[in-house]
Amino acid sequence: MRDAFLSQGATRFVFLLWVSLISVESCGAKVLEKTFEEWMRYKAECLKKMANDPYPSGLFCNRTFDMYACWPDGSPGTVVNVSCPFYLPWFEKVKHGVVSRKCGADGHWAQLNGTEAWRDHSQCKEETEATDEEVRRGQGPGLAAGVGASFALTEGAHRLMVGFKVIYTVGYSLSLLALILALLILTVFRKLRCTRNQIHANLFASFGLRAVSVIVKDSLLEKMWGKEVFQMSDWEALLSHEAAIGCRVAQVVMQYCILANHYWFLVEAVYLYKLLIGAVFSEKNYYTLYLYLGWGTPVAFVVPWMAAKYLKENTE
């Protein structure tokens, strides 16, 4: 039971954080990773303390780690206070605060609705949180409650960003269908096959690949960050190197497609300049140079960028 997370609270936190990653990808990932590491350290210290402390005599509420805070043995009919856990990203703001639980007269911790432990962690929340609804939503146990509470006021921004995502996904999908139709027309009809239309076709293809790469990248992020988290092993898998490989590959491919799209705009400009000023190379070799410029040049920028990311910012 100690390693079990409340599904709703944990899933909500992960999904909100995933939306934040769309805008601040590396920063959000680092915050999650550091918070998880600090939580693991807090848990280890708590379990060690519980194992070493002597047990009191008589009736008492058992010491426990409820995935949010470390609780000592409690005397019946009292309120037990412990300091806000240090793994909270905003701990410096609430380091003098306490989180409370009630020890019932029967020697059992007070329950909320008879199913989950009652806990008052209002002093451990960020100062921006105020409403009862936000307090209620932060009641889930463990890391999800602690970190998820900091995102309580971001739900409005979350809905807005999800709305934007839906809009641009629909736009990319419609554009992709139109681009496929245009490519079919330019490639099927022989009378349309000329250098100018071949350049147009490559530009359309770069637009299509850009749309596909964005949609695939979003799908992988949603699959990775939107899945439900139940056990400690789920968090470890979420932050593992293997889980991030697909997202990293998708990110690299997306950056290449974006650059290729811009370079094919450059090819269009070079071809127009050639028509207006005059040809320097023969028509036969010129299209090959266009291909190298449009599809090859982006590699010269993406590869160093990928190497720098791997060496300097290789975080999950």
Rg (CA), the chain: 28
pLDDT score for 5: 37
pLDDT score for 29: 55
pLDDT score for 239: 58
**Could you read off the pLDDT of 27-66 as tens digits, one per residue?**
455 667 778 788 889 989 999 999 998 988 889 899 988 8
More confident of the two residues 86 and 143: 86
User: What is the chain written as a DSSP string?
Assistant: -TT---HHHHHHHHHHHHHHHHHSHHHHHHHHHHHHHHHHHHHHHHHHHHHHSPPPSSS-BPPEE-SS-EE--B-TTEEEEEEPPTTSTTHHHHTT-EEEEEEPTTSSB-EETTTEE--B-GGGS-TT---HHHHHHT-S-HHHHHHHHTTGGGHHHHHHHHHHHHHHHHHHHHHHHHHHHHHHHHHH-GGG-SHHHHHHHHHHHHHHHHHHHHHHHHHHHHHHHSS---SHHHHHHHTSHHHHHHHHHHHHHHHHHHHHHHHHHHHHHHHHHHHHH--SS-HHHHHHHHHIIIIIHHHHHHHHHHHHHHHH----
Tell me which long-range contacts 133-136 makes (C-beta under 8 A, separation of at least 24). Answer: none
Amino acid identity for residue 284 in this structure: K
Helix axes 25-52, 142-149, angle to 10 degrees: 140
Cut 0.75: pTM above it: no
Is 68 exposed, middle or buried, given 0-12, 13-18 or 19+ CB atoms closer than 10 A? buried
**Could you read off the pLDDT of 285-310 as tens digits, one per residue?**
578 888 899 999 999 999 999 888 88
**Could you read off the pLDDT of 201-234 as tens digits, one per residue?**
999 999 999 999 999 888 887 776 655 544 555 5
pLDDT for 235 beyond 70: no
More confident of the two residues 2 and 98: 98
pLDDT score for 177: 93
pLDDT for 265 beyond 70: yes
pLDDT score for 277: 77
Q: Name 94's Cβ contacts closer than 8 Å, sequence gap at least 6.
A: 84, 88, 123, 124, 125, 126
pLDDT for 281 beyond 70: no
**Could you read off the pLDDT of 147-205 as tens digits, one per residue?**
444 444 456 676 787 888 889 889 999 999 999 999 999 888 888 888 888 899 999 99
Q: Which two tokens stand for residue 49?
A: 């303390």
For range 7-15, the mean pLDDT = 41
pLDDT score for 17: 42
